[in-house]
């Protein structure tokens, strides 16, 4: 299982993807983070912190893909 977020950074405007696995050892191809779906991660250009648990997180998402 996993989730791929396509996000437009609110600080620098770059569009980037962040992907996390659930229940597997899986690192994001873009940033190398091995977190989980609720762990914070950062924009690869300006290092703005994003947390899926933040109430405003959904405002920056352009696309979400989940897989089993």
Would you say 5 and 19 are in contact if contact means Cβ atoms under 8 Å apart? Answer: yes
Q: What is the pLDDT of residue 65?
A: 82
pLDDT in tens, the chain (68 residues): 677 889 999 999 999 988 876 555 556 656 666 666 677 888 989 999 988 888 898 898 888 888 76
3 state SS for the chain: CEEEEEEECCCCCCEEEEEEECCCCCCCCCCCCCCCCCCCEECCCCCCEECCCCCCHHHHEEEEEEEC
- Measured in whole angstroms, how far is the alpha carbon of residue 8 from the centre of its chain? 10
């Amino acid at each position: 299982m996993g989730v791929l977020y396509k996000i437009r950074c609110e600080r620098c405007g770059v569009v980037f993807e962040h992907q996390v696995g659930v229940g597997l050892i899986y690192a994001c191809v873009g940033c190398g983070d091995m977190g989980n779906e609720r762990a914070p991660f950062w924009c690869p250009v300006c290092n703005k912190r994003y947390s899926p648990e933040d109430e405003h997180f959904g405002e920056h998402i352009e696309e979400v893909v989940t897989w089993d």
